[in-house]
Amino acid sequence: MVAADPPLVSVVITAFQAETHVARALRSATMLEADGPVEIILFDDGSTDGTLAAARAEAAADPRIHVIEGGRQGRARALNQAISAAGGRYIAILDADDIALPHRLRATLPMLEANPELAMACTEAIMFEGAIPERPAGMEPEARMSRITPALLYASNRITHSTVLFRRAAWEQAGGYDEQFDICIDYAFYFRLLRVGGIGHTDTVTCLRERRADSYFAAQRQQDYADALSRIRAEARSTMAIPLWAQLAAAARSIRLGMKNLGGQLHAPSGTA
């Protein structure tokens, strides 16, 4: 019996209470186009709804899907454990409520293979609420590639987690996702990767990202979010050169966010937080 080729790419999905949309994410991952084998790792992070049953039903229909019942770990640890179990040289992250477009790997994998100094590649995404929008036909022929520098990342995190593709070796060298964070874990991870390599970006759209009021991130307090950003940026300033313009831009965004949140609280109906 001939052994199967090891996967070139591992698509990693962590899921918590995702029964309504995890099958959609998994099916989108099975449609990814690549020049090598692709495996899909679904790590259930202690769901108590029908997430596991939905994932196992998809795995029964496609042997490339591997389901791990991990118990409640938290997002960062769940990601690290799922990646540890993955066999691919490249890791593609897909959030359980997002939809990967078939050309996603064709837009990112060539960037990494042609530029060995890059640790990660990422693309653009379309945000939607409710009905799924019309999907882009494919890769844009005039797509532009650029680099995301520490300064640009510090000023604003415009990277959609569900578009990233990074080298497993870079993840190992960077120390994985920082498990001390409960939110903003992607932002902290990008800075870790920038300490071991570059980040490339193309303006091709490769993901449909759903905005949901019941998402885990939406449930977090804005003060917790602000505190996490502050800690991540303080560490960035201590380990890499962040120019003044980027620090001022980040401060201005933080002030605008704070004013927006304050306005929402002042106009909230009686009895709401």
**What residues contact 241, with CB distance under 8 A and at least 6 apart?**
150
* Domain chopping of the chain, boundaries: 9-265
* 268 band by pLDDT with thresholds 50, 70 and 90: very low
Architecture of domain 9-265: Alpha-Beta Complex (3.90)
Please report the pLDDT score of residue 126 as a whole number.
95
Q: Which residue has the tokens 């799922």?
A: 82
Q: Which residue has the tokens 């804005």?
A: 222
- Mean pLDDT (the chain, rounded): 90
Q: Which residue has the tokens 């977090």?
A: 220
**How many C-beta neighbours within 10 Å does residue 208 have?**
21
Distance between CA atoms of residues 191 and 51, nearest Å: 31
- Indicate the burial class of 273 (C-beta count within 10 angstroms; 0-12, 13-18, 19 or more): exposed
Evaluate whether 128 touches 162 at the Cβ level (below 8 Å): no
Q: Which residue has the tokens 């991990």?
A: 70
Question: Could you tell me where the DSSP H helices lie in 44-177?
Answer: 51-61, 75-85, 104-114, 150-155, 168-174
Q: Please tell me the pTM assigned to this model.
A: 0.91
**81-104 confidence digits (pLDDT tens):** 999 999 999 999 999 999 999 999
**How many C-beta neighbours within 10 Å does residue 168 have?**
17
**DSSP count for the chain of H helices, then E strands:** 10, 9
Using the predicted structure, report yes or no on whether residue 118 has a pLDDT greater than 90. Answer: yes
